Amino acid sequence: SLTSAGKVFVEQIGPALQGIESGLEAVRSERDTPSGTIRINAAPFAAREIITPLVLEFLRRYPEMVVDIVTEGRLVDIVADGFDLGVRVAGLIHTDMIAVPLGRPQRYAVVATPEYLDKHGVPLVPPDLLNHPCIRVRLPDGSLFRWRLEKDGEIVQLDVRGPIILDETSLSRTAVLEHTAIGFFLEQSVLADIEAGRLTRLLDDWTPPFPGLCLYYPGRRNLSAGLKAFLALARVHAAAAQKATRSTAPSE
């Protein structure tokens, strides 16, 4: 532990060290060729969304860069935990962060197997779900997720019941595919199963799109050349995703 003299020394030299670090970061930000490491914290599904169109493309363009992605369900303080960027659904991002939308909106999907529906019947309105076994989801803070459905401005939140509680998407998907219960997922997690006929989508008109993923980072810092380049590519990717969404949207 520090002596009293040591504490005085640390207090005196601390601001100088911060100034040196800021100066070094400013120099790194002016490099012509970005290099170094970008650390990203993301929800697992969010990491899957950005890995091919954004991260791998960035590494092809800037071979001197390294991207370190850590996936976890819980929402972390990216500054305190030493991350440069986070990737989460827009509604989870703190207001003191700078957010860069990634373009494509998200949707939820209520799904079950055709075999389950043949045996138990098809729920037609949200309250019908209370008469079915459902996969319950435990959130990172320990609480149980309530299914949120919306149609024409009417919002229904259901505390569903079921025989199993899980906290990981792939486990929930496995349980649903085994005809155990009805599940509630982000659409991209089960879209391939829906398209292949392994799962049937239910209450489609009760799951409208909502604001999608965002990159976010603290505003009170100098951005390195690598971070600037990554954010610039993210904005290009977002613009292309928005254009694709508009071009595939059904005409009125």
How far is Cα 36 from Cα 29, in angstroms, rounded to an integer? 11
Can you tell me the distance from the alpha carbon of 50 to that of 187, in angstroms, rounded to the nearest whole number? Answer: 16
pLDDT of residue 244: 66
DSSP conformation class of 143? P
What's the burial of 173, exposed, middle or buried (CB within 10 Å: 0-12/13-18/19+)? Answer: buried
Q: Are strands 36-42 and 65-71 parallel, antiparallel or unpaired?
A: parallel
What is the pTM for the complete model shown? Answer: 0.62
Task: Identify each DSSP E strand in the chain by its residue range.
Answer: 36-42, 65-71, 85-89, 97-101, 108-112, 135-137, 147-151, 154-158, 164-166, 183-186, 200-202, 213-218
**Over its length of 252 residues, how does the chain's per-residue pLDDT go in tens digits?**
678 877 778 888 877 777 776 666 655 555 567 889 999 999 888 898 899 889 999 999 999 999 999 998 778 899 999 999 999 987 778 888 999 988 777 889 999 999 999 999 999 999 999 999 999 998 877 889 999 999 998 999 999 999 999 988 889 999 999 999 999 998 988 999 999 999 999 999 999 988 788 999 998 767 899 999 999 999 998 888 777 656 555 544
Backbone angles phi, psi at 241, to 5 degrees: -65, -40
pLDDT value, residue 97: 92
* pLDDT value at residue 32: 60
pLDDT for 252: 44
pLDDT value for 22: 64
Q: Are 80 and 37 in contact (CB under 8 A)?
A: no
Q: What is the rounded end-to-end Cα distance, in angstroms, of the chain? A: 71
- How far, in Å, CA of 155 to CA of 158, rounded? 10
In this predicted structure, what is the pLDDT of residue 30?
A: 52
Separation in Å, CA 115 to CA 108, 174, 201, 203, 229 = 22, 14, 13, 17, 49
**Kind plus residue range of the DSSP H or E element containing 230:** helix 225-248
Q: What is the pLDDT of residue 249?
A: 53
3-state secondary structure of 109: strand
Strand order in the sheet with 200-202: 183-186, 108-112, 200-202
pLDDT at 241: 72
